[in-house]
Structure 1
Amino acid sequence: MPFISRINRQSDYNIFSPSTPIVIDNGASYFRIGWAGETDPRVIFRNIVQRPRHKVTGETVTIVGDHDPGLLKYFDCTRSGPRSAFDSNVVYQFEIMEYILDFGFDRMGAIGSQIDHPVLITECVCNPVHSRSKMAELLFESYGVPSIAFGVDAAFSYKYNQQHGICDKDGLAISPGFSTSHVIPFVNGEPVYKGCCRTNVGGFHVTDYLKQLLSLKHPHHMARLTWEKVEDLKMEHCYIAPDYAEEAQLFQKGGKEVEDKTRYWQLPWVPPPTEEPPSEEELARKAAIKERQGQRLREMAEAKRSSRINELENELNNLEFLLQQLEQVEEKAIPSFLSDTGYVSKQEIESAVLKVNASLRKAKGEPKQAENEEKADASTNGKYPLINVPDNLLTPEQLKEKKRQIFLKTTTEGRQRAKQKRFEEELEREKKNQLEEERRLENPELYLEQMRVKYKDLYERVEQRKRLKTNGGHTNGNNLSGGVGRGERLNAAQRERMRLLTTAAFDRGKGEDTFGARDEDWQLYKLMSKDHDDDEDGADGDETELARISSRLQEIDPTFVPKRESTPSQPSAEVPRIRPLTKEDCQIVIGVERFRCPEVLFCPNLIGIDQVGLDEMVGVSLRRMPSEDACLVDRLTSSILMTGGSCLLPGMGERLEAGIRMIRPCGSPIKVVRALDPILDAWRGASVYASSLLFPQQTFSKMDYYEKGEYWLRGYQPRYSL
């Protein structure tokens, strides 16, 4: 890529004599510094400064240039982003400029802050006097520079290419820079500043526009779209369209040509592992493991069952032994004997024996014995001997025992009634199912049709009841949103209450309110307190019957699909669909952005800047030239030099020539050429200029600055034809 930093520290600083100038190309994007007479600068780095904090120590450090991102991972850069000393190609932050100069001189090998070499530094066209004077003050006061010279970077590039025969003495220099673009006319090798034109659009705006479009297009990959990477994508894939409207229509239609012009940036992606079906050996191994686990669980269950049987048998033996001992005890000693065992009566011990027997039979898997159950039910009558005894014949302890026996008897009888009811319901259900099965066998088609009709009626009834319970979304009584009105939401009981209240209010609304004076008035309260909502009574029954019919239809009709119940108040949440990332998901697609972003150089209105483009700037600059020489404009358009980083975009020369031809008369000579090296030609031209023997005459010394002050810089203009 063309933008490559070189920040290695030089070691031959002391070899050069104090008369050798130091050449600085102080661009808004990159800072280049080297020795006069050489072909390439020694040090190149980004013209930015960062002051992040160390993540561990919290110490604030100053980082100049674009260092390795691996170094910046140890610092917190969230609160301190990159800062530039420029504002629209003019230096205005001289604190940041001092950091950059310190780093540049240090990389050149200078020891200390004293610089004993003349300095040639570039600036923009028509640089404000205040910025030029502050730069001179910084170099004189902080670094002790003996003399300084200023020059326009585009002028140095034009003179360097003129020496190599690329352009003539009379011509135009078009310089689309980092943040601004300039057009400078040259007459006899010298720039004519009155004919200059400037626009605040440059390579920065192209990169920023491309970053915005790609971020909107691929929001999930915004972290990957760093400024440096987008800059590389711009220089690698963007181009200038010969006709922007025609190129946009081509991409809108699509086709093979558009597919060929589309570029893809593949992000790191690892394909998901493909799951192969298990082999027969693997299936056999898993089956053997599962069988061993099942055998182990069965053995554990058998051991637990045997332990439970032993415990129940021991408990049963103890209870039987206790009953045998109780039979040998006298009547008077029974209470004292039972107090030691923890039981209250003999009946309680016998009940415990029956429970243990039932548990033991259940543990052994034996069927229930109806006779034993009947005996157990018959013996319950003898369990509660104190129930029929009057309270005045019982002691306080016996009264407590009587209450306990009453509670136990009531609970037992309730359980028996519930059991009997369940048994009867089961018999009724079996009988009903048997009848339905007989009907189905007699005429299957008729039975299926009847079941479908019944299912439909029940479903509509249940849905109607749900709609009545739901507050419909209506506005001013108009049912326009699919909901229900107030009258439809009221059930039968509520409508009857509303009718009674309305009748009472209508009868008693005139004159004195005498409601309640007659006995007939109080009948309204009785009517209003009654529950007229018959639908609510059968709500649960309808839903149960609907579920039964639905399951029955699923058994006998393979084509039956139950309807989904609507739940307007609680919509079911959709299960998120998760799929593995594919190769296409990790691609940055650069299509129409390839020519749309560089178009801002010719149409700044795309990014909201109301200024002219590069081709129109040439027309503005030509109109500002003096009109005494009729052939001057033709000579200028015959040698148009493009310089600057944005000139590397493909199609720039053709587009400029086509745009200039549209604003010039037919047959006018137009020739657009590109500089040998649009990026480094400015520094190389300055290096050749500083190595000339007449260069010291174009500088001004520290003594001149102290004597004449900054106002002397207002009229300072170097001559480029030495």
Structure 2
Amino acid sequence: MPFISQTRRQSDYNLFPSATPIVIDNGASYFRIGWAGENDPRVVFRNIVQRPRHKATGETVTVVGDHDPALLKYFDCTRSGPRSAFDSNVVYQFEIMEYILDFGFDRMGANGSQQIDHPVLITECVCNPVYSRSKMAELLFETYGVPSVAFGVDAAFSYKYNQQLGICARDGLAICPGFTTAHVIPFVDGEPIYKGSCRTNIGGYHITDQLKQLLSLKYPHHMTKFTWEKVEDLKMEHCYIAPDYAAEARLFQNGTKEAEEKTRTWQLPWVPPAVEEGPSEEELARKAAIRERQGQRLREMAEAKRSSRINELENELQGLEFLLRQLERVEEEDIPSFLEETGYVSKQEVESAHAKAAQALRKAKGEPKGEQVGIEEKIDSSTNEKFPLINVPDDMLTPEQLKEKRRQIFLKTTTEGRQRAKQKRIEEELERERKNQEDEEQRLENPELYLEQLNIRYRELSEKVEQRKRLKTNGNHTNGGMGRGERLNAAQKERMRLLTTAAFDRGKGEDTFGANDEDWQLYKLMSKDNDDDDDGVDPDEAELIRVTSRLQEVDPTFVPKLELGLSQPVVEVPKFRPLTKEDFQVVLGVERFRCPEILFHPSLIGVDQVGLDEMAGVSIRRLSCETQEFEDRLTKSILITGGSSLLPGMTERLEAGIRMIRPCGAPICVFRASDPILDAWRGASSYASAYQFASQTFTRMDYYEKGEDWLREYQLRYTI
């Protein structure tokens, strides 16, 4: 599989006589080959070569020019990118050039083993180095057996072709902004004067590369979409030359309506997300039926569990009632031994368990709450009966009864503490509701005054809380000097006092600390959790929290201080936004004229050379013209050719730029070639079809006899 391409192979190669020349326009961008005398080339393809490997067999293939992406899915192209035989506008990779010529002659219809017995006219760049010209001649003569070869400049052929069409005169300038370089060639009496030519290393390649970089930076998430071929199409479709670059940039900077009209949008492929349709009525009815069945099953399970619970409580209540009836027939001193196997200690404990079981049974059966409250009051009234050993002196109790007395004291203390905490919470809630009701009444009477007073109260509480925190951190001294005692709170100071007193009392004589039980009370006092300053709720802070909450309710613009330890505002996490059609749009605004501007200001991309308009002035000055009339003849016929001359606004901008460097009133006329891309090949085809063409070639025998030194002096005459 030597070549892969979509170019159709010609079938009439053997119909042309050997005297018919083959015309080749060897451009840095495209390779065009055809027969002399025809109006269009037979084969056109990109002047690049790629050599990937087959993914299955590992065989290396040669891809010349444009390729079929569907076919390349079988090849690995990651290690072999497209390669060109050109450096700027000069051929230097003749191995790649051989692949391109092989493919071009094969598409023309020549067999691989067949010699090319036709003369060849091939284009080259202006002032092509002799080494490149000699290597090209050696390749054509030695490899393909070409009988004769002629070298010509593509821009000169385009100028001569348009001169035949009457577009330009015999004296003038040919400006050719090509793929990698831009040339200016002066013509005098129909012949190019190469000593006055000028070149700049800026062309259409740099415009495309600059546009690709700008779009990749602007849309990094769509970078894979910006292939070279697509960016080249965007350049030719949307880019233009601005008449005044600075004014055009200000236009887009100000965002005027005219700038919006000049903005273009490229829509990338986008598939809208599937719209989820709501469930139908049948689906809703089916789900409702499922929920009803599930609810019924849960209700049945709850009813069965409730019935089982009622049965358990009834059995437990019957057992406790039977136990109480048995205890009535037992003597008081025999009760502990009688209850030893039951797990209860006293008759009071059995009665308490009976009352709790009865209350639980009433609750499970769903009886009115009033009866439960009565039971609770009855239990509260019998609290003293639960703990009969508390008021009995210790010397009247046995060791077992002392143990039971300590347990009853602990239970009573815990119960009373819970009741006090509950009562305190109820009182605080009532007080909070009372204050909120009073605040609401004040707000309704005078909202503005109420809000002002609330803000004043908030500031006072904030300053008080901040002052207390500063004192707790730095002590009572504002200058930073303080002792350790001033950094301690009340509980810590009390502990220090106890330690100091104990150490002073036990510091004399023998240390007998711990011999008495009251000595250990010191540890109880020291470990008592009474750090009200640290763990307790400060009333000012509680009031500040209440005022802050009230301000947030009545004043939407209120923002609390974050450093007071209050509740932090919740930062909302940005919600996921589904991608829309606008997210897949590439907007071309200032890039449309910014990229082509490098043809006139190469310094925009770091190239320290002159632009197209200044190149024309340099070329005229190099001719050393003695008369103003001769310079006017050159500027009256300025032809622009090449692919980059197709950009809109090129003719007007070039004429305005040249007028800036020419004397006032000098005649300046700029024309565009009839076909800037194919006119070079057509001019070469018309030149090679003339019967005098044979006198402008050099044969293979001349090359063998005279060598490359003769090529150094070789010069093609375009007027024959």
1:46-61 alignment, distance < 5 Å:
46-51=46-51
Is the CA contact (8 Å cut-off) linking 2:313 and 2:360 kept in structure 1?
A: no
Shift of 1:685: 1.7
Is the CA contact (8 Å cut-off) linking 1:169 and 1:188 kept in structure 2?
A: yes
In structure 1, the residue matched to 2:35 is 35
Rounded Cα–Cα distance in structure 2 between residues aligned with 1:299 and 1:721: 105
Q: Report the secondary structure of 1:499's partner residue.
A: coil
Q: Report the secondary structure of 2:300's partner residue.
A: helix
Is the CA contact (8 Å cut-off) linking 1:29 and 1:178 kept in structure 2?
A: yes
Q: Report the secondary structure of 2:691's partner residue.
A: coil
| 1:456–1:125 distance in 2 versus 1, CA, 3 Å | same
1:215-614 alignment, distance < 5 Å:
215-217=216-218, 221-248=222-249, 255=256, 257-268=258-269, 295-296=292-293, 298-319=295-316, 357-366=358-367, 367=369, 369-370=372-373, 372-373=375-376, 412-413=411-412, 415-429=414-428, 432=431, 436=435, 453=453, 456-457=456-457, 461-462=461-462, 490-492=473-475, 498-500=481-483, 536=534, 541-550=539-548, 563-566=559-562, 573=571, 575-576=573-574, 586-614=584-612
Is the CA contact (8 Å cut-off) linking 1:114 and 1:144 kept in structure 2?
A: no
Q: How far does the alpha carbon of each residue in 1:615-657 deviate from its partner, in whole angstroms, 9 at most, with x for none? A: 2212221222254787543433333222111222233223333
In structure 2, the residue matched to 1:481 is none
Rounded Cα–Cα distance in structure 2 between residues aligned with 1:428 and 1:62: 93
Shift of 1:200: 1.2
In structure 2, the residue matched to 1:687 is 685
Q: Report the secondary structure of 1:369's partner residue.
A: helix
Rounded Cα–Cα distance in structure 2 between residues aligned with 1:553 and 1:302: 46
In structure 2, the residue matched to 1:663 is 661
In structure 1, the residue matched to 2:26 is 26
Q: Report the secondary structure of 1:234's partner residue.
A: helix
In structure 1, the residue matched to 2:66 is 66
| 1:311–1:40 distance in 2 versus 1, CA, 3 Å | same
Q: What amino acid does structure 2 have at the position aligned with 1:417?
A: E
1:161-176 alignment, distance < 5 Å:
161-176=162-177
Shift of 1:163: 2.7
Rounded Cα–Cα distance in structure 2 between residues aligned with 1:536 and 1:324: 51
Q: What amino acid does structure 1 have at the position aligned with 2:562?
A: S
Q: Report the secondary structure of 2:206's partner residue.
A: helix
RMSD of aligned C-alpha atoms?
5.2
1:138-149 alignment, distance < 5 Å:
138-149=139-150
TM-score (norm 2): 0.74
Q: Tell whether 2:8 aligns with 1:8.
A: yes
Residue range with higher mean Cα deviation, 636-645 or 360-369: 360-369
Is the CA contact (8 Å cut-off) linking 1:124 and 1:152 kept in structure 2?
A: yes
Q: Report the secondary structure of 2:111's partner residue.
A: coil
Shift of 1:153: 0.9
Rounded Cα–Cα distance in structure 2 between residues aligned with 1:138 and 1:666: 51
In structure 1, the residue matched to 2:133 is 132
Is the CA contact (8 Å cut-off) linking 2:176 and 2:640 kept in structure 1?
A: yes
| 1:573–1:92 distance in 2 versus 1, CA, 3 Å | farther
Rounded Cα–Cα distance in structure 1 between residues aligned with 2:453 and 2:239: 69
Shift of 1:267: 4.2
Q: How far does the alpha carbon of each residue in 1:243-287 deviate from its partner, in whole angstroms, 9 at most, with x for none? A: 4445455555665544444444344567789999x9xx98x9999
Q: Report the secondary structure of 1:112's partner residue.
A: coil
| 1:255–1:99 distance in 2 versus 1, CA, 3 Å | same
Rounded Cα–Cα distance in structure 2 between residues aligned with 1:561 and 1:286: 47
In structure 1, the residue matched to 2:649 is 651
Shift of 1:298: 4.8
Shift of 1:193: 1.4
In structure 2, the residue matched to 1:112 is 112
Is the CA contact (8 Å cut-off) linking 2:359 and 2:375 kept in structure 1?
A: no
Rounded Cα–Cα distance in structure 2 between residues aligned with 1:53 and 1:460: 81
Shift of 1:170: 2.9
Rounded Cα–Cα distance in structure 2 between residues aligned with 1:578 and 1:454: 40
The size of the alignment, in residue pairs, is: 663
Q: How far does the alpha carbon of each residue in 1:124-160 deviate from its partner, in whole angstroms, 9 at most, with x for none? A: 1111122223333444454444443322111121222
Is the CA contact (8 Å cut-off) linking 2:313 and 2:357 kept in structure 1?
A: yes
Rounded Cα–Cα distance in structure 2 between residues aligned with 1:94 and 1:406: 113
Shift of 1:665: 3.9
Rounded Cα–Cα distance in structure 2 between residues aligned with 1:23 and 1:154: 15
| 1:149–1:322 distance in 2 versus 1, CA, 3 Å | farther
Shift of 1:238: 2.9
Rounded Cα–Cα distance in structure 2 between residues aligned with 1:690 and 1:407: 127
| 1:373–1:252 distance in 2 versus 1, CA, 3 Å | closer
Q: How far does the alpha carbon of each residue in 1:427-468 deviate from its partner, in whole angstroms, 9 at most, with x for none? A: 423653576588679977789868974675456645775799
In structure 1, the residue matched to 2:512 is none
Q: What amino acid does structure 2 have at the position aligned with 1:304?
A: M
Rounded Cα–Cα distance in structure 2 between residues aligned with 1:502 and 1:535: 15
Shift of 1:682: 0.9
| 1:435–1:216 distance in 2 versus 1, CA, 3 Å | closer
Q: Report the secondary structure of 2:187's partner residue.
A: strand
Shift of 1:197: 0.8
Rounded Cα–Cα distance in structure 1 between residues aligned with 2:138 and 2:353: 110
Q: Tell whether 2:84 aligns with 1:84.
A: yes
Q: What amino acid does structure 2 have at the position aligned with 1:432?
A: E
Q: Report the secondary structure of 2:296's partner residue.
A: helix
Q: How far does the alpha carbon of each residue in 1:388-430 deviate from its partner, in whole angstroms, 9 at most, with x for none? A: 999x999xxx99xx99x89986875565234302332144236
Is the CA contact (8 Å cut-off) linking 1:462 and 1:539 kept in structure 2?
A: no
| 1:65–1:494 distance in 2 versus 1, CA, 3 Å | farther
TM-score (norm 1): 0.74
Is the CA contact (8 Å cut-off) linking 1:172 and 1:186 kept in structure 2?
A: yes
Rounded Cα–Cα distance in structure 2 between residues aligned with 1:140 and 1:701: 9
Identity of aligned residues (%): 59
Shift of 1:86: 2.0
Match of 1:699 among 679, 697, 700: 697
Q: Report the secondary structure of 1:122's partner residue.
A: strand
Rounded Cα–Cα distance in structure 1 between residues aligned with 2:123 and 2:420: 105
Rounded Cα–Cα distance in structure 1 between residues aligned with 2:574 and 2:442: 47
Is the CA contact (8 Å cut-off) linking 2:387 and 2:412 kept in structure 1?
A: no
Rounded Cα–Cα distance in structure 2 between residues aligned with 1:502 and 1:580: 62
Rounded Cα–Cα distance in structure 2 between residues aligned with 1:663 and 1:10: 50
Q: Report the secondary structure of 2:150's partner residue.
A: strand
| 1:370–1:586 distance in 2 versus 1, CA, 3 Å | closer
Q: How far does the alpha carbon of each residue in 1:374-397 deviate from its partner, in whole angstroms, 9 at most, with x for none? A: 676759987999x9999x999xxx
Shift of 1:180: 0.8
Q: Tell whether 2:620 aligns with 1:622.
A: yes
Is the CA contact (8 Å cut-off) linking 1:439 and 1:447 kept in structure 2?
A: no
Shift of 1:89: 1.1
